[in-house]
Structure 1
Amino acid sequence: MTDVVAELAADTILEGDAKSDLPVKSPEQSTTKQFSVYEATSEELIERFMAPIKKEFLCPPPSRSGNQNDAAPPSLVLEKKSKRQLKRERREKATINLCPQVSRTEDVDSCQYKEKCRFNHDIEAFKAQKPEDIEGECPFVASGMKCAYGLSCRFFGNHRDVAGSSDGKESSEINFFNKETQRLLWKNKMTFVNADAKLKSLGLLGHAKKSNVEEEIDSEKTRNGVNGTEAVSSEPTSEMIEDVDIPGPLETEEVRPMKKAKPDDEEKLKSVEVGRDDDGMKVEEETEKNGHSEAKVEEENSIKIVETDNSLKLHPREKKIIDFRDKLYLAPLTTVGNLPFRRLCKVLGADVTCGEMAMCTNLLQGQASEWALLRRHSSEDLFGVQICGSFPDTISRTVELIDRECTVDFIDINMGCPIDMVVNKSAGSALLNKPSRMKNIVEVSSSIVETALTIKVRTAFFEGKNRIDSLIADIGNWGAAAVTIHGRSRQQRYSKSADWDYIYRCTKNAPTNLQVIGNGDVYSYLDWNKHKSDCPELSSCMIARGALIKPWIFTEIKEQRHWDITSGERLNIFKDFVRFGLQHWGSDTKGVETTRHFLLEWLSYTFRYIPVGLLDVIPQQINWRPPSYFGRDDLETLMMSESAGDWVRISELLLGKVPEGFTFAPKHKSNAYDRAENG
């Protein structure tokens, strides 16, 4: 609910809203006429941003003599734990978890680490404490793949029924994090030839202050010892600063060249053994050696960064072209926009998908959990990744690294994230206050890779100080293939409706070589049609919260209809998500609980959907808050509950009982209409 709605609600008495947290005024305290959702017309409800539910589906008004403290079941509050406590719990759990190799082979002698292995090798002890199997078929076996979890699989009981039928098929996911690349990033031995050459030619190599150059060089000498580097005077000049390489992951004597999996070679991807890192994500362990000859490696390692007057910018004919026109674009969504959710949206009609926002500094540090955000499924035929950083050197090196290591169609740079943690690091929407830095980031990044580069922005940082209209003519000249404009400022967040008139104005001022994508409050096919007809120059519309609340919005747009989806059809969509999640995170206990966690995060949005058949006026608007009501059947009523306890009940229908002591609270407080914290 918007701030305007909150102010209106604070001045009125809402009768019959058993789930409302707003205080109820007595007649003596209230100076305005009492408002009742049971007597109000649809127009009056819409004026107050309330959903016009048909009267027969409204819950009976509460008794005035009843206890006002009687409310919905309390949410399951997540207990905050320290990092040390979480690490200790992971170690304790690891001692009772069965070794993955033993689980696959059912042979205690198959583990190469023997007694040094940190996992349990006692099969009988593991079986004694293993939770009972979940009803249904193993998602890997059902898809014709070999289950890599063996005894640990929560569907192990039906493995033998289809034994031998799962040979030959491999995982349909790509962009696995290369272990050798991770090692080089950990040891700070990765080179970025193209990025550093371009940065050096523009004088942007490193964002350290000039006064700190000597200190950084001396510290590098201390770490590496005397290596023949020439002495630097105590007061470096600007010319000397340009010639000095700022210490960092720039160049080294021992470098392994990186390979990118080409689209033509995807069927020849190296076979991998599926393991698990501490974050519950699948990681790869190479089982084939690099086929490059030593001579070629030495030749590639001998490449030096040289200063040149020639631009590294690719010829337009060499640049990959991506067309967003009239394509349904699923926005990169924090937490919920994971690979299983994107697979689900592809099934429901999405054309373009983009991974969750990944921080450049974490990628350059080799964090496996951050690189997992770049994973791609084979069904994502038009796929991009989104990154976020503060400075041209950090972002351009990340762009070069992704271009060489991953198979993506475009790389999106987030310059609109409103989250405080990101903005305080001068990233996200903080860049809107630094147009010269925006220019340097886009120019350098777009000039060093063939992959199309896009950016995502908001109208401005401060409310009432829009500035994208003054930059839109230059963004295309900087090298961006497309720009997505979210019709809100950073200060505004989600407190008001998106300003589409401003998006239209920016679109009409954009150069012909720059595609403009609008973003904000697209929640029905009518919204899509309106934006496309009001501004034909608009390439497409990005769909974010609308897809979180009802992912079948893509089907509605393509079929040009309002889908009065039943509770059974919605449950089948949840089942598909669970199946995709188990294939991605694993079918053992850890994978099941990871899938449950992300299902619950998603359910914290889907409860806001109001079925078409219950509304007096359609379509539903994204900022409508419904009064207390019930559905056409028990399952539909359960799905519209804002209680985390009811979301857990839905997860138990699909993934079995929750473990003892299970707790959950939504990460973004998405069940609060008056407070939107999802960036």
Structure 2
Amino acid sequence: MGEEERDEGGSVPRVVAADQTPQELVSRAIAPVKKEFLRPPPVRSSAPNDDVSIPNENRTSVLAKEKKSKRQLKRERRQEQKSAKNLCPVIAKTGDVSSCPYKDKCRFSHDLEGFEAQKPSDLEGQCPFVKSGGSCPYGLACRFSSTHEGGVPSGDCNGLKNSSEVNGLSKDVQKLLWKNKMSFSKADAKLKSLSLLGPSKSKRNDLENKEGVDTGSNKCDHSDDSGSCVVTSDSGSKLECPAEVMKDDDNGIDGKCESDERCPLKRRKTEENCSPKEAANEENCGPMEAENEGVTEKIVERSCTKSEADDIVPETDLSTKSEAEDIVPETDLSLKLHSREKKLIDFRGKLYLAPLTTVGNLPFRRVCKVLGADVTCGEMAMCTNLLQGQASEWALLRRHSSEDLFGVQICGAYPDTVARTVELIEQECTIDFIDINMGCPIDIVVNKGAGSALLTKPMRMKSIVEVASGTVDKPITIKVRTAYFEGKNRIDSLIADIGSWGASAVTIHGRSRQQRYSKLADWDYVYQCARKAPTTLPVVGNGDVFSFVEWNNHRTECPELATDMIARGALIKPWIFTEIKEQRNWDISSGERLNILKDFVNFGLEHWGSDTKGVETTRRFLLEWLSYTFRYVPVGLLDVVPQRLNWRPPSYYGRDELETLMASDSAADWIRISEMLLGKVPDGFTFAPKHKSNAYDRAENG
């Protein structure tokens, strides 16, 4: 047990024998806390009514009673939406009951008196929107409404026009994606030039229901022994069937409901990811909006020039057009920048904050920017969800104005899906680079053929990188792991070719997919890959960077490395960026740590909203973050400095009451910290951390 890293959902040894030396504790991967701060062993309770005495069968029955069907949950959500606490946003902004244009047909409550009667008391502090010099878009619904000028809403419904966030999804583009009418001329031309483009979209539905359809130059044969559909071209080579590509749906990540797949018009933004501007747009959609959803084919992508639009061939005319007219002329393709001619990003020596699912949201990235991060990257977004126009997935691409060097990370299993996604992102978003995740170990991603699954298919990796880099002018970077299975490293054999595929940089996480996050990262192998890489391909290392000492050691031992990507180290102590820049071990006080949490809360209220819904969303993400920060052991309490990422903290007292509270591994104490910043939690509030890494030797991991 002693040498294994703490599992992210597992137990932590909270008691350490006081007679052990610091060296013995370090050898067992336990943080060597000074003896005067260690807690005494707890007294185990043997009361008959203790929770551990409840039989397993009784626990199961209790859980079964609490489980509700999706239909019942949907019914409860609709009833709750019409309750008094869900006041119409138009009325909340104006304070006038007659201001809603939808009157009785509005899907929100118009009971202003009922809303004010049940509204929780205002929070301490000032409204974040008023503090920033703007007007609050939430009006009476704001939990800081008493700090508004005159105590009443200003009536300005456009308070977010001057928002410092960009990369929102426009309604016109979203409707085109919903109706599958978005044109991807650049991606399709590049796919065709690489012989990766399957049949036209008009024939995809036939392929799903009919076997052996002749689709021109390619023939679909569903009788492959592997059980997967393949396309046989005239040259005899087998390609991925586009019908199967279209079936590849990565929904379900982080709790996304299957109902998102059924009807695009019924998709709803989730409170976890939607910004206030998006929420306002969603809430202002009345019941008559469906009548205005007819988007004509006159609407084309906003960045499409007239010459590009002329090259787009309608689907109905594909059968009558010659092959020369069907694609972009060869001369146009030759004008595209070669990967080596693109504007490259100099990663060397820069502090790179890794894309972090759930916790690496925009408010957290803002905190890291304040503390010294140079490069930031958005949370991993699934290509299929982006192409479906899911607002919750597009929210992962949002960028704050303080992020001066920003990239987005996408994940997809097939070249055509990735190519169309990068073209769409380049058109709709303001970014500096696009990172393709080829190392995600999550089961639901791997089972779709994306993430770490691509490590077993190097030819598909090549196709994805080639088509993505050939479609857009933005730099394309990739993130990989050492291998899929432990002991079968393969990136060193591919590193010489990755640059020729078109990648502008590669990040290597020093663990295999099977390893997940257990054991220490294999930096020796990362060094080996960096030395084999061509000089034109920057290599970024990733894994276990938790102090400026480790950062310096990687620079010394392998000068070929461009930089290190910092992931969990930033979750546990985001001031690691300050430590690296100032070359010191910062013995940060509990008060300074609380101020960092206050900054996160203020940034969260600006991003998710200052109404009750936004407050509770901010609280949820704060608690997710606190499920990591308790692992930090203050420098002044350690016998050996600096702390290593795999050290498990024992149970100890802090130097003050707040530091002791921050060291607790109890979710109840995390909730107490959230109440210090966001007020009391609602009745019936519960919290369980979302992230739990799998054990090292799980059967499904090989």
CA RMSD of aligned residues (A): 4.0
Distance 1:323 1:89, change over 3 A: farther
Q: Match of 1:54, as an amino acid?
A: K
Shift of 1:321: 1.6
Distance 1:565 1:215, change over 3 A: same
State whether residues 174 and 376 of structure 1, in contact with CA within 8 Å, keep that contact through their aligned partners in structure 2.
yes
Q: Match of 1:145, as an amino acid?
A: G
- Aligned match of 2:575: 552
SS at match of 1:457: strand
Q: Deviations over 1:270-292 (max 9, x none)?
A: xxxxxx945451317499x9999
Equivalent runs, 1:218-617 vs 2, <5 Å: 238-239=233-234, 277-279=269-271, 281-282=274-275, 283=278, 285=281, 300=309, 303-304=312-313, 305-306=326-327, 311=333, 313-315=336-338, 319-617=342-640
Q: Match of 2:112, as an amino acid?
A: I
Shift of 1:309: 5.3
Shift of 1:445: 0.3
Distance 1:473 1:138, change over 3 A: same
- Aligned match of 2:688: 665
CA–CA distance in 1 between the matches of 2:127 and 2:545? 37
SS at match of 1:504: helix
CA–CA distance in 1 between the matches of 2:696 and 2:604? 28
Equivalenced residue count is 614
Distance 1:367 1:486, change over 3 A: same
Shift of 1:301: 5.8
Distance 1:537 1:318, change over 3 A: closer
Distance 1:415 1:160, change over 3 A: same
SS at match of 1:49: coil
State whether residues 5 and 646 of structure 2, in contact with CA within 8 Å, keep that contact through their aligned partners in structure 1.
no
2:184 aligned residue (187, 192, 203): 192
Distance 1:176 1:321, change over 3 A: same
Q: 2:225 matched to 1:216?
A: no
CA–CA distance in 2 between the matches of 1:277 and 1:446? 31
CA–CA distance in 2 between the matches of 1:385 and 1:545? 18
CA–CA distance in 1 between the matches of 2:645 and 2:142? 40
2:103 aligned residue (114, 124, 130): 114
Shift of 1:319: 1.7
Q: Deviations over 1:575-596 (max 9, x none)?
A: 0000000000000010001000
Shift of 1:656: 0.6
Distance 1:559 1:130, change over 3 A: same
Distance 1:459 1:237, change over 3 A: closer
State whether residues 141 and 159 of structure 1, in contact with CA within 8 Å, keep that contact through their aligned partners in structure 2.
yes
2:196 aligned residue (192, 198, 204): 204
SS at match of 1:491: coil
SS at match of 1:109: helix
Q: Deviations over 1:374-397 (max 9, x none)?
A: 000000000000000100000111
- Aligned match of 1:58: 38
Distance 1:346 1:244, change over 3 A: closer
CA–CA distance in 1 between the matches of 2:613 and 2:681? 12
Structure 1 unaligned residues grouped into runs of 5+:
21-35, 223-228, 251-275
State whether residues 207 and 393 of structure 1, in contact with CA within 8 Å, keep that contact through their aligned partners in structure 2.
no
Q: Match of 1:155, as an amino acid?
A: F
Q: 2:91 matched to 1:94?
A: no
CA–CA distance in 1 between the matches of 2:24 and 2:299? 69
- Aligned match of 1:131: 120
Q: Which moved more, 1:87-96 or 1:659-668?
A: 87-96
Q: Deviations over 1:497-528 (max 9, x none)?
A: 10111101100110111110000000000010
Q: Match of 1:457, as an amino acid?
A: V
State whether residues 504 and 535 of structure 1, in contact with CA within 8 Å, keep that contact through their aligned partners in structure 2.
yes
Shift of 1:493: 1.2
Shift of 1:68: 12
Q: Match of 2:691, as an amino acid?
A: H
Distance 1:49 1:411, change over 3 A: same
Shift of 1:87: 2.4
Q: Match of 2:125, as an amino acid?
A: G
Q: 2:643 matched to 1:648?
A: no
State whether residues 133 and 155 of structure 1, in contact with CA within 8 Å, keep that contact through their aligned partners in structure 2.
yes
Distance 1:207 1:642, change over 3 A: farther
Distance 1:114 1:247, change over 3 A: farther
Q: 2:152 matched to 1:152?
A: no
State whether residues 18 and 62 of structure 1, in contact with CA within 8 Å, keep that contact through their aligned partners in structure 2.
no
1:83 aligned residue (62, 67, 70): 70
Shift of 1:115: 1.1
CA–CA distance in 2 between the matches of 1:549 and 1:474? 36
CA–CA distance in 2 between the matches of 1:569 and 1:414? 35
State whether residues 167 and 399 of structure 2, in contact with CA within 8 Å, keep that contact through their aligned partners in structure 1.
yes
Shift of 1:320: 2.2
Shift of 1:323: 1.0
SS at match of 1:432: helix
CA–CA distance in 1 between the matches of 2:240 and 2:507? 37
SS at match of 2:97: coil
State whether residues 141 and 612 of structure 2, in contact with CA within 8 Å, keep that contact through their aligned partners in structure 1.
yes
Shift of 1:91: 1.5
1:42 aligned residue (22, 29, 53): 22
Shift of 1:62: 4.0
Distance 1:505 1:302, change over 3 A: closer
CA–CA distance in 2 between the matches of 1:485 and 1:367? 30
State whether residues 311 and 327 of structure 2, in contact with CA within 8 Å, keep that contact through their aligned partners in structure 1.
no
CA–CA distance in 2 between the matches of 1:601 and 1:237? 48
SS at match of 1:363: helix
Q: Deviations over 1:579-616 (max 9, x none)?
A: 00000000001000100000000000001000111111
What TM-score do the two structures reach when normalised by structure 2?
A: 0.80
Indicate the percent of aligned positions where both proteins have the same amino acid. 66
State whether residues 101 and 111 of structure 1, in contact with CA within 8 Å, keep that contact through their aligned partners in structure 2.
yes
CA–CA distance in 2 between the matches of 1:663 and 1:420? 26
State whether residues 122 and 144 of structure 2, in contact with CA within 8 Å, keep that contact through their aligned partners in structure 1.
yes
State whether residues 604 and 618 of structure 2, in contact with CA within 8 Å, keep that contact through their aligned partners in structure 1.
yes
SS at match of 1:140: helix
SS at match of 1:542: strand
CA–CA distance in 2 between the matches of 1:68 and 1:560? 54
- Aligned match of 1:264: none
Shift of 1:19: 4.2
- Aligned match of 1:26: none
Shift of 1:45: 0.8
- Aligned match of 1:32: none
Distance 1:315 1:625, change over 3 A: closer
SS at match of 1:608: coil
Distance 1:240 1:616, change over 3 A: closer
Q: Match of 1:133, as an amino acid?
A: D
SS at match of 1:357: strand
State whether residues 6 and 674 of structure 1, in contact with CA within 8 Å, keep that contact through their aligned partners in structure 2.
no
Distance 1:245 1:390, change over 3 A: closer
